Amino acid sequence: MKKNIENYPLKLTGENIPMVDFRNVSKAYGDLVVLDSLNLKVEEGEMVTVIGPSGSGKTTVLRMLMALEKINSGVIYVDGEPLSHMEKNGKLVRANEKYLRRQRAEIGMCFQHFNLFPHMTALENCMEAPVHVLGLTKKQARERSEELLDMVGMLEKANEHPSRLSGGQQQRVAIARSLAMRPKMMLFDEVTSALDPEVIGEVTSVIRKLVSKHNLTMLMVTHQMGFAREISDRVCFFYDGKIEEQGKPDDIFENPQKERTQQFLSAVL
Ligand code: ADP
């Protein structure tokens, strides 16, 4: 039974609230149902990887978390707060643009194509949103950005423009730029698939570092099965807008229970 938005809690309270909580979320483009009453939780500090065939709705999940897509039904809570919705007179209603902008600023996203601002240096790229969105002073934003560029191994190239950087280097700057907003969580969408094979490792090692040292909540879509297996706390296999199977990486990769998971893995591994 589909619930009306008004019947969902205004916010989630109590201990151990998940960082992300999709409740019966559906999304369609015209007649095409892309997410079908999806329920998905990501706990605080958890690294969850989404795998599955092309067109199964993986990117849509990330885009919905960035409030870039309208939800047709259901509610997504981020850190207990309903995404894309706000409270009005004790009820949930669709959020206005200002509210959406604030929510978007709390989630970091890195895409396959890094989209750095071409006319700014690596450092300026990182400083831009902390200054203009968070209202940090330039000095504060510079300190924060330099620390992050150092973390991703790009401090030496801080004053270079993107056109002078390799794809792997640009992607590392893009990760630092997202982190400079101190997001509640990071979303990674195929961040290595546009890269030359020899530079994939420098990007995956930054993500590995974020998992092992920074305990950041992350949701990652990837075709790199070995990396997903190594790095994830949990792997979700998507099929036709639903989670067909999920579990610990070793269980999913070594002993998948569902036929569709078995077929997918035997085709890609
Ligand atoms: P995946 O990431 O698993 O490849 P996507 O979430 O990108 O899948 O897409 C799921 C389905 O939704 C695909 O069939 C895709 O063609 C369709 N789709 C995605 N975005 C749009 C859009 N803006 N308009 C219409 N169809 C879309």
Q: What is the pLDDT of residues 69-97, one digit of tens each?
A: 888 889 999 999 998 877 788 888 888 88
Atom of ligand 1 nearest to the CA of 30: 25
Atom of ligand 1 nearest to the CA of 53: 3
Residue with the nearest Cα to atom 14 of ligand 1? 55
Place of tokens 């996203």: 109
Atom of ligand 1 nearest to the CA of 57: 6
Ligand 1 centroid–CA 57 distance in Å is: 6
Distance between CA atoms of residues 95 and 92, nearest Å: 9
The conformation of residue 7, written as its DSSP 8-state character, comes to: G
Distance between CA atoms of residues 103 and 4, nearest Å: 22
Give 136-160 pLDDT, tens digit per residue. Answer: 999 999 999 999 999 999 999 999 9
Residue with the nearest Cα to atom 25 of ligand 1? 29
Atom of ligand 1 nearest to the CA of 238: 3
β-bridge mates for residue 73, sequence order: 26
* Ligand 1 neighbours by CB, cut-off 6 Å: 29, 32, 34, 52, 54-60
Average pLDDT over residues 215-221: 94
The CB density around residue 16, as the number of other CB atoms within 10 Å, is: 6
H runs (alpha helix) in 180-223: 197-214
Place of tokens 């870039």: 68
Q: Ligand 1 pocket check: which of 40, 60, 219, 239 to mutate, most ligand atoms within 8 Å of Cβ?
A: 60
Interface confidence (ipTM) of the complex: 0.97
Using the predicted structure, report yes or no on whether residue 2 has a pLDDT greater than 70. Answer: no
Distance between CA atoms of residues 228 and 253, nearest Å: 10
Residue 1 has a pLDDT of 45
